[in-house]
Amino acid sequence: MISPNRFLASKSLFPQTWADARRLGVTATMVAKAASGPGGFEQLLAEFEQEWIEPDNPYMKFGRDWEPIIALQMKREFSLMPNDWLIRHEEFAHHLATPDCLSLDHRVIGEIKTTGKDWEEKKIPIQYRRQVQWQLHVTGADFCVFSWMLREERDGVFAPAWFDAKSIEIQRDEDMIEQLIETAEKLWERMNNER
């Protein structure tokens, strides 16, 4: 079980606190980008101190609209509860993640994505696999239920292509986790040196 003091802030209840707390460490999104190569690493560092708000677009809106619906499917099928709490690692306080879902015993996490391209089980994009492995590291969970909904355009509006999202299990990959920890520590050191 994840102890209560490791739950730092809820995005829906305390959005500014959640955003501020994310700047106190390395999140799944950050480490996935930094691990993509030197260009991603340097771009992340350049963007870190900026107060940047991503402009809304129809792709993002579709994802926001459908994530709660997919979360209900994950609750129904896998007994995973929706989550928007930022969680810190038990030992490394600057290792942070906000998995989309958690099981009641915290042994399983869930991650939700929407996409314009269907993925085969073995072809989940590497940046999402890195995000999932970092979340597994931070939470200590055994595996992730990864769910995705394909969107398609109908009369100029995005709509779901299926009745339900597709889901697969992604198991822990200790080798990838070790690589991500190494990347995160380099990133954290640079972030602190450049503040």
Give yes or no for residue 193 having a pLDDT over 90. Answer: no
Question: Band of the pLDDT at 122, cuts 50, 70, 90?
Answer: low
Q: What is this structure's pTM? A: 0.92
Q: Domain map of the chain by residue range?
A: 4-193
Residue 105 · residue 20 · CB < 8 Å: no
Using a pLDDT cut of 90, give the percent of the chain over it: 69
* Higher-scoring residue by pLDDT: 166, 55: 166
Q: Which CATH number fits domain 4-193: 3.90.550.10, 1.20.120.160, 3.40.50.300, 3.90.320.10?
A: 3.90.320.10
Q: What is the pLDDT of residue 31?
A: 95
Q: SS3 for 141? A: coil
Question: Band of the pLDDT at 116, cuts 50, 70, 90?
Answer: confident
Q: pLDDT tens digits for 41-62?
A: 888 888 776 655 566 788 788 8
Question: Band of the pLDDT at 109, cuts 50, 70, 90?
Answer: very high
Q: What is the pLDDT of residue 195?
A: 59
Q: What is the pLDDT of residue 52?
A: 52
Give yes or no for residue 70 having a pLDDT over 70. Answer: yes
Q: What is the pLDDT of residue 108?
A: 98
Residues 6+ positions from 112 with CB-CB distance below 8 Å: 67, 70, 71, 74, 100, 101, 147, 148, 149, 165
Q: What is the pLDDT of residue 60?
A: 83
Q: Cα dihedral sign for 56, 14, 132, 178?
A: positive
